[in-house]
Amino acid sequence: MSGAVLQLARMWTRRAIFAAAAICACGAEGPPERLRFPSTAATGSATLGLQALHLGGARDGVVYVPTSYKPAEPLPLLVLLHGAGGDADDWFGSYAARAEAARFVLLAPDSRGSTWDAIHGRFGADVSFINQALERVASEVSIDRARMALVGFSDGASYALTLGLANGDLFARVVAFSPGFYQTTTNRGAPKFFVSHGTRDTVLDIGHTRTMVGVLQSQGREVQFVEFDGGHQVPAEISTQALAWLAASWSP
């Protein structure tokens, strides 16, 4: 069996196991993979710049609101999902300046454990926490619901792909930097994808990503796939390209 075919077999096996677990976990509030964004207008006063979420104790997260924010002008929202063993601060070497220039609102939650729940086989506390964080942002900042994206690196990229497929009716754009796999229960909406991966990545094999991109494209999904000469990382030029793709894809 070829490596690509073997990876597909493993992917679909994981999906079957994951779907069964999700069915068992589904409670009264609906499917456990569902993200929610309140439809009501923001009623609070937004704090500009970088601030803590103040929702999760030691594992919390941050929000960034551009200083040019005006309540009468809804802004795009990017939900940033860190890699395994990381936290929200991993994004803020350059992303605050990027968000200020591009006028994006950023929400970067911390996973409840060392990585995201679905990586271990089922949705749970992380989806609940992200929903709490989305509710807080929605209560304070005017967000353009037509311009919301999930962005992730490494395990966070796998999680972004997984949540994006399950919530494409809410998050219509997904950016996945160096993902390892994806899983889903029910596909919703028609999200568009930007995927990147380094050809010399020794942590997560680019071959798996090439297979995943091929599967998504075979389903008729729009995917921009960028390979670069590098390892398990997000080079500045790739990040710039991804944000430019987002802005262009949201243009009228």
Q: What is the pLDDT of residue 126?
A: 96
Total domains in the chain come to: 1
**Mean pLDDT, to the nearest integer, of 64-89?**
95
Whole-angstrom Cα distance, residue 5 to residue 11?
A: 10
Q: What is the pLDDT of residue 29?
A: 60
> Residue 70 is inside which H or E element, if any?
none
Q: Which of residues 92 and 164 earns the better pLDDT score? A: 164
123-146 per-residue burial string, b: 16 or more CB within 10 A, e: under 16 = bbebbebbbbbbebbbebbbbeee
* Containing structural domain, residue 175: 3-250
Here the CATH number for the domain that contains residue 141 is 3.40.50.1820
Q: Tell me the one-letter amino acid at 57.
A: G
With both helix axes pointing from N to C terminus, report the angle between 236-250 and 95-102 in degrees, rounded to the nearest 10: 30
Which tokens is 3 given?
A: 């490596």
Q: What is the pLDDT of residue 17?
A: 36
Q: What is the pLDDT of residue 94?
A: 87
The pLDDT-based confidence of 8 (bands split at 50, 70, 90) is: very low
pTM summary value: 0.88
pLDDT exceeds cutoff 90 at 211: yes
Q: What is the pLDDT of residue 41?
A: 85
What digits encode the pLDDT tens for the residues 221-248?
Answer: 999 999 999 999 999 999 999 999 999 9
What digits encode the pLDDT tens for the residues 100-124?
Answer: 999 999 999 999 999 999 888 889 9
Q: Which of residues 17 and 212 earns the better pLDDT score? A: 212
Q: Which of residues 171 and 12 earns the better pLDDT score? A: 171
What digits encode the pLDDT tens for the residues 27-72?
Answer: 446 689 999 999 888 887 889 999 999 997 889 999 999 999 998 9
Q: What is the pLDDT of residue 39?
A: 86
Question: What length does the chain have?
Answer: 252
What are the start-end ranges of the E strands in 85-242? Answer: 105-109, 143-153, 173-177, 192-198, 223-228
Q: Which of residues 43 and 157 earns the better pLDDT score? A: 157
**Mean pLDDT, to the nearest integer, of 205-214?**
97
Q: Residue 160: phi, psi to the nearest 5?
A: -65, -45
> Residue 11 is inside which H or E element, if any?
helix 3-25
Task: Identify the three-state secondary structure at position 230.
Answer: coil
> What average pLDDT does the chain have?
88
